[in-house]
A and B are shown apart, each in its own frame.
Chain A
Amino acid sequence: MSIQTVEVKAKVPSPSTNFWQTYRQSKLGIAGLVLLLVITVIAIFAPVLSPYDPKSSAGVGAGQVYNPPSAAHWLGTDDAGRDVFSNFMYGARVSLLVGFFASFISVGIGGTIGIVAGYYGGRVENILMRFTDTMLVIPDLPLIVVIVALTKPSLLNIIFVIGIFGWTTTARMVRSQTLAVKSRKFVLRARAIGAGRRHIIRHHILPLVMPILVVQAVLVVSVAVLNESTLSFLGLGDPTALSWGQMLNYAFARGAMSTGAWWALVAPGIGIIWVVLGLTLVGQGLEHVLNPRLDTHHLMPGRPVVVNHEASGESENPTEKNPLLEVRNLSINYINEGKPPARAVENISFTLKEGELIGLVGESGCGKTTLMLALLRLLPSAGQIVNGQVIFSGKDLTALNEQEINAVRWKDISIVFQGAMNALNPVRTVGDQIAEAIIKHMPGFPRDQRLQERVIELLDLVGIAADHKEHYPHQYSGGMRQRAMIAMALACNPQIIIADEPTTALDVMIQAQILELLDSLRKKLGLAIIFVTHDLGVVAEICDKVLVMYGGVTAEYADVDIIYNESRHPYTQELLKAFPDLTKPKKKLSSIPGYPPRLDALPIGCRFAPRCRLAFARCHTEQPLLQKLNDSQSAVHIASCHLLEVSK
Chain B
Amino acid sequence: MGVRPPAQWSKSLNRWLYIRNKAGRSFFTILFVVVLNFFLFRVLPGDPARQGIRDPRLTQEAIEAIRVRFGLDKPVINCIQTVNPLRFGSCEVNPLETQFFIYVKNLTRGELGISFYYNRPVSDILGERLWNTVLLIGGGQILSIIVGVVFGVMAAWKARTSVDYGALITGLVAWSLPTFWLGIILLFWGSSHGFPIGGKATPGMSSYPFMTQFTDVLWHLVLPTLTYTIVFMGEYMLIMRSSLLDVLSEDYILTAKAKGLSTFQILKDHALKNGMLPLVTIIAINLGFTVGGVIQIESVFSWPGLGGALFEAVSRRDFPILQGGFLLIAISVILANFIADLLYSYLDPRVQIE
Q: Does A230 lie within 8 Å of B289, measured CB to CB?
A: no
Q: Kindly supply a per-residue 1/0 record for chain B positions 235-267, scoring 1 wherever the CB is within 8 Å of any chain A CB and 0 otherwise.
A: 100110011011011111111111111110111
Cα A299 to Cα B160 in complex, Å, equals: 12
A377 to chain B, nearest CB (A): 10
Give A161-200 interface residues, CB cut-off 8 Å to B: 169, 183, 188
Are A4 and B248 within 8 A (Cβ)? no
B70 in contact (CB, < 8 A): no
Interface string of A241-269 (1 = CB under 8 A from B): 00000001000100001000010011011
A419 to B254, CA, bound (A): 13
Given contacts A133-B25, A472-B350, contact A280 B159 (CB under 8 A): no
Kindly specify which of B100-108, B139-147, B179-187 makes contact with the partner chain.
B179-187
Q: Does residue B136 face the partner (Cβ distance < 8 Å to A)?
A: no
Instruction: Provide the main secondary structure of the chain A interface.
Output: helix
Interface: B325 (CB within 8 A): yes
A422 to B314, CA, bound (A): 53
Fill in one digit per residue for B220-231: 1 if any A CB lies within 8 Å of its CB, else 0.
000000000000
Which of B176, B325, B326 lies in contact with A276, CB distance below 8 A?
A: B176
Q: Output the nearest chain B residue to A273 by Cβ-Cβ distance.
A: B176
A253 CB to nearest B CB, Å: 10
Q: Which of A447-490 contact B (CB under 8 A)?
A: 472, 474-477
Q: Is B8 an interface residue (CB 8 A)?
A: yes
- Are B172 and A294 in contact, with the CB atoms below 8 A? no
Q: Once the chains bind, are B263 and A269 in contact (CB under 8 Å)? A: no
Residues of A contacting B175 with CB < 8 Å?
4, 280
Q: Is A440's CB within 8 Å of the partner chain B?
A: yes
Closest to B311 in A: A234
A4 touches B259 (CB 8 A): no
Question: Can you name the residue of chain A whose Cβ is closest to the Cβ of B263?
Answer: A299
Closest to A426 in B: B350
A257 contacts B251, C-beta separation under 8 Å = no
User: Closest Cβ of chain B: how far from A489's Cβ, in Å?
Assistant: 9
Interface: B56 (CB within 8 A): no
Which residue of B258, B326, B337 is within 8 Å of A143 (Cβ)? Answer: B326
User: With an 8 A cutoff between CB atoms, is B138 at the interface?
Assistant: no
A142 in contact with B242 given A277-B176, A436-B269, A475-B7 (CB within 8 Å): no
* CA distance in complex: A498, B285 (Å): 44
How many residue-residue contacts, CB under 8 A, span A and B?
267
Note all chain B residues with C-beta closer than 8 A to A140.
288-289, 292
Partner of A410 from the list B6, B258, B274, B317 (CB cut-off 8 Å) is B258
A403-437: contact bitstring with B at CB < 8 Å (1 yes, 0 no)?
Answer: 00111111100110101001111111000000011
* Nearest CB in chain A: distance from B1 CB, A: 8
Per the bound structure, the CA–CA distance linking A248 and B181 in Å amounts to 8
Q: How large is the interface on A (under 10, 10 to 19, 20 to 34, 35 or more residues)?
A: 35 or more
Contact A265 to B245, CB < 8 A, known contacts A138-B333, A141-B292: no
A268 to B185, CA, bound (A): 12
A150 near B243 with CB under 8 A, answer: no
Contact partners of A294 in chain B: CB under 8 A:
249
A137 to B185, CA, bound (A): 31
Please, how many angstroms separate the alpha-carbon atoms of A425 and B36 in the complex?
44
Whether B322 contacts A146 by the Cβ 8 Å rule is yes
**Assuming the A-B contacts A6-B242, A297-B245, A406-B262, are A137 and B337 also in contact, with contact meaning beta carbons closer than 8 angstroms in the complex?**
yes
Instruction: Please give me the residue from chain B that is nearest to A476 by CB atom.
Output: B8
* B314 with A139: CB separation less than 8 A: no
| B248:A298 contact, CB within 8 angstroms | yes
CB pair A298–B185 under 8 Å, yes or no, is: no
B130 within 8 A of A: no
Shortest distance in angstroms between A131's beta carbon and chain B's nearest beta carbon?
9
Given A137-B337, A299-B263, A427-B349, A475-B46 contact (CB < 8 Å): no
Contact B33 A257 (CB under 8 A): no
Kindly state whether residue A603 has any CB partner on chain B within 8 Å.
Answer: no
Q: Is the C-beta of B195 less than 8 angstroms from some C-beta in chain A?
A: no
B259 touches which one: A139, A265, A428, A437 (CB < 8 A)? A437
B8 near A423: Cβ-Cβ < 8 Å:
no
A266, B185: Cβ atoms closer than 8 Å:
yes
Contact A134 B314 (CB under 8 A): no
- Asked if residues A265 and B322 are in contact (CB atoms below 8 Å), the reply is no
- CB pair A139 B287 closer than 8 Å: yes
* Other-chain contact of B326, A133, A142, A226, A424 (Cβ < 8 Å): A142
Chain A residues, Cβ within 8 Å of B330 = 138-139, 142-143
Interface-lining segment among B37-45, B61-69, B72-80, B211-219: B37-45
Docked-complex contact A409 and B41, CB < 8 angstroms? no
Using known A-B contacts A138-B288, A477-B8, determine if residue A269 contacts B181 with beta carbons closer than 8 Å. yes
Residue in chain B with minimal CB distance to A411? B260
Contacts of B12 in A (CB 8 A): none
User: How far is it, in angstroms, between the C-alpha of A477 and the C-alpha of B176 when the chains are bound?
Assistant: 46
B160 contacts A414, C-beta separation under 8 Å: no
- Bound-state Cα–Cα, A216 to B105, Å: 42
Contact residues in B for A436 (Cβ distance below 8 Å): 259, 261, 269
Contacts of B185 in A (CB 8 A): 265-266, 269
A84 within 8 A of B: no
- CB contacts (< 8 Å) of A428 on chain B: these are 269-270
Q: Which residue of B lies closest to A480 (CB)?
A: B8
B315 at interface by CB-CB < 8 Å: yes
Given the complex of chains A and B, what is the CA–CA distance between A579 and B307 in angstroms? 73
Interchain CB contact under 8 A, B329 and A299: no
In the bound complex, CA of A313 to CA of B298 (Å) = 75
The verdict on B296 contacting chain A, using a C-beta distance below 8 Å, is yes
Q: Are A146 and B40 in contact, CB atoms less than 8 angstroms apart?
A: yes
Measured CB to CB, the nearest residue on chain A to B182 is A269
Contact A233 B253 (CB under 8 A): no
Q: Is the CB of A296 within 8 A of B288?
A: no
When distances are taken between beta carbons in the complex, the residues of chain A under 8 Å from B121 are none
Are A425's CB and B286's CB within 8 A?
no
Q: Is B124 an interface residue (CB 8 A)?
A: no
Q: Is B251 within 8 A of A147, CB to CB? A: no
Using Cβ atoms and an 8 Å threshold, which residues of chain B touch A631? none
**Which 10 A-B residue pairs are closest in the complex by CB-CB distance?**
A141-B292, A2-B289, A139-B288, A297-B248, A409-B260, A422-B251, A269-B181, A277-B176, A150-B44, A276-B176
Given A139-B287, A235-B315, A273-B176, 17 more contacts at CB 8 Å? A2-B286, A6-B242, A141-B291, A142-B310, A142-B326, A151-B46, A230-B292, A265-B181, A273-B177, A298-B248, A298-B250, A299-B266, A410-B259, A423-B251, A426-B349, A436-B261, A475-B11
**Can you name 26 A-B residue pairings with CB atoms under 8 Å?**
A2-B288, A6-B243, A134-B32, A137-B287, A139-B289, A140-B289, A142-B307, A145-B295, A145-B314, A149-B322, A150-B40, A150-B48, A222-B176, A230-B178, A233-B178, A234-B314, A262-B188, A272-B178, A294-B249, A297-B248, A409-B260, A425-B252, A426-B350, A427-B349, A437-B260, A440-B265
